[in-house]
Amino acid sequence: MDLIDSLIFVFIMLAISVMGIYFSRRKQTRSSQDALIGSNVSVLSIALSVCSSFLSAVSLLGFPAEVYFRGSTPLWFNVVYIIAFPIVAYVFLPVFYHLRLSSIYEYLERRFSYASRILASSTFILQTIFYLAVALYAPSLALAQALNFPIFLSILITSSISAVYLLLGGARGGIYTSALQMALILISLFTICCAILFEFEPMEIYTRSKKALRLETTDTRFNPQVRHSIFAFLIGGSGNIFSLFAVNHLTLQRYMVMPTLRQAQKVVLLNIPMNALMAVMYTFMGLAMYAVYYDCHPKVGAPDQMLPFFVENHLNWLVGLEGVFVAAVYSAGISTLTASYNALTAVVLEDIVKTMWPKVKKEGQIINSEMHIRIIQILPFVFAAVATILAMAVKSLDTMVLQIAFSIFGAAGGAILAVFVIGLFCPKITNPYAALVAQVCTLLVSIWVAAGSLVYNVVPVNLPLSDHCRNSSSPLEFEWEERFGTVMANNDSGIWLEVSKISYQYYCVVAVVVCVVVGHIAQFTFYLVSDSAPVELNRNLLAFAPRVKPPNIIIEAPESQCLSKHCSINEEE
């Protein structure tokens, strides 16, 4: 970047930081609740914050590259959003919202056992920590390249900034900052799309993309090894949305800031247009990149460097755009890190410290407010240190660590979703040991499937690219082949190889099927061999059961059990 772009980048990041922390500290009391989950935040701010939570720099750079190399089938995510987010809002969320959980994994203790809660929360902690390495490395690399910093210093600065946001502004500061960062991301992507329309002919983009199969979006092969078929998105993609936005503590703590269930549901539903808009802009940028490089694929270091390369070399006529774009990439990483640090802090505090450290119990209180706040302030820096070490491992080992992180993220998310599914939708499964057996089996199967993709080096098959960069006059002809849309692996045979080729979109579906089947078998088995009386099931723990709540009674929940300042039961729905 030149001097102007560098100054723009620094100014934007400083402005967002100052504004986020300033707004977070207005009329805010420094209670342990505010430090951990925030309060008094608008619906739009929370919706922007939720949307940015999983919008890492990896996805910001990777989605357009996915379209460039493998076509625009990810547009089917927009259909998935319309189907999945209402289910999150009206099926999953009401159960968790009315239970007033201190941690989403507390639900599993109420429904099954303490062991199920600890296993799920431990899985979430490991899943998030490994993903932090990737989420930290990508924006750090952008910062290092933009300002000519050493990569180690960039990683240290990025990780520390995210933790400082939480220290100075608490969770509310993290929410406001991530909301502003999400707004910056939307503005920068919209500006890039407008610059593309101004610079290039839209019909030329369409024609070249059409001829090169980039607009083929109707892959109807019902084959789980087809990476991005319609069925992979509609079936598997919905499961991925549920694992991220329905049963993940990172998003639940955002929803629970809202004073009423209706407002929390609005937060979920607002993610439909925001995510859909992002998908459309990503796709358009990917198609535009291909239209520019249709006859000469550039040599870039990695696929996710395609978009920065394109902006730097073809949109540099718009002064300041590169600085804004780098700020957006950096913001995407920072928002993910901030949300992850906060969620990890909450889960460790509620599921581990408060339940496994008996010395903190005093006069009926799990932990006093001063120590509560102290732990909340320290833990983000602990996770920042761990993330820094892992990010340096990503730098050293590169692709393999990235693949391991994403595989663990997908496998762990599916296993967590599966145990919540049997809790919410399978009333016949009441034996805690049956649920634990199903949970363990599901986690092992999920890891087995994900590990196979690493062992066999499973990679997607790209659509054809042209290397006619030396004034070649031969025509560009592309024909559809059955191998497009699938994956390839090292030459071998066996069931593990075939299983390892399953599309990552189906990881959650596989986990849910295994958990439901094993759970019912284990329940029936324990019923036959056990003489104990059947466990009485609390109907409030089921998704479609009518909720029992006394009319016109206000229950004042203790602060440690309340995720929102508005804890009355007879609220407006």
SS3 letters across 315-380 = CCCCCCHHHHHHHHHHHHHHHHHHHHHHHHHHHHHHHHHHHHCHHHCECCECCCHHHHHHHHHHHH
Q: Say which amino acid occupies 496.
A: W
The pLDDT of 427-434, averaged and rounded, is 92
pLDDT band of residue 559 (cuts 50, 70, 90) is very low
The CATH number covering residue 141 comes to 1.20.1730.10
The pLDDT of 467-479, averaged and rounded, is 55
Instruction: Classify residue 115: in a domain, yes or no.
Output: yes
| Range of lowest pLDDT (174-188, 244-258, 436-450) | 174-188
CB 184 within 8 A of CB 12: yes
Instruction: Classify residue 549: in a domain, yes or no.
Output: no
Q: Residue 93: what pLDDT?
A: 94
CB 255 within 8 A of CB 95: no
Cα(457)–Cα(76) distance, rounded to whole angstroms?
26
Cα–Cα distance list, 325 to 135, 160, 181 (Å): 17, 22, 12
233 pLDDT higher than 50:
yes
484 Cβ contact list (under 8 Å, min separation 6): 213, 461, 463
Closest CA to 327 of 53, 10, 54, 17: 10
Domain count of the fold of the chain: 1
DSSP state, residue 461: P
Hey, what are 346's tokens?
A: 């909450």
Residue ranges with strand state E in 415-497: 459-460, 487-488
Cα–Cα distance list, 333 to 321, 326, 375 (Å): 19, 11, 24
pLDDT band of residue 568 (cuts 50, 70, 90) is very low
Cα(284)–Cα(68) distance, rounded to whole angstroms?
10
Instruction: Classify residue 191: in a domain, yes or no.
Output: yes
| Range of lowest pLDDT (230-234, 261-265, 530-534) | 530-534
The pLDDT of 129-156, averaged and rounded, is 80
Cα(453)–Cα(443) distance, rounded to whole angstroms?
16
Instruction: Classify residue 492: in a domain, yes or no.
Output: no
Instruction: Classify residue 353: in a domain, yes or no.
Output: yes
| Range of lowest pLDDT (139-143, 330-334, 386-390, 565-569) | 565-569
Closest CA to 408 of 375, 449, 370, 439: 449
Reported pTM: 0.85
What is the domain extent for residue 257?
Answer: 3-397
DSSP class per residue in 94-110: HHHHHHT-SSTTHHHHH
63 pLDDT higher than 70:
yes
Most confident of 1-5, 158-162, 429-433, 485-489: 429-433
CB 484 within 8 A of CB 218: no
pLDDT digits (tens, 9 = 90+) for 364-418: 555 667 777 788 888 888 988 898 888 887 766 555 445 565 667 778 899 999 9
The pLDDT of 160-177, averaged and rounded, is 73
pLDDT digits (tens, 9 = 90+) for 266-312: 999 999 999 999 999 999 999 999 988 888 888 877 777 888 888 88
Cα(377)–Cα(355) distance, rounded to whole angstroms?
19
Instruction: Classify residue 368: in a domain, yes or no.
Output: yes
Mean pLDDT of the chain: 80
Specify the residue for token string 């772009």.
5
pLDDT band of residue 188 (cuts 50, 70, 90) is very high
Q: Residue 24: what pLDDT?
A: 55
532 Cβ contact list (under 8 Å, min separation 6): none
pLDDT band of residue 501 (cuts 50, 70, 90) is confident
Instruction: Classify residue 477: in a domain, yes or no.
Output: no
Instruction: Classify residue 516: in a domain, yes or no.
Output: no
pLDDT band of residue 553 (cuts 50, 70, 90) is very low
Q: Residue 490: what pLDDT?
A: 62
246 pLDDT higher than 80:
yes
In percent, the amount of the chain with pLDDT more than 90 equals: 25
Q: Residue 40: what pLDDT?
A: 63
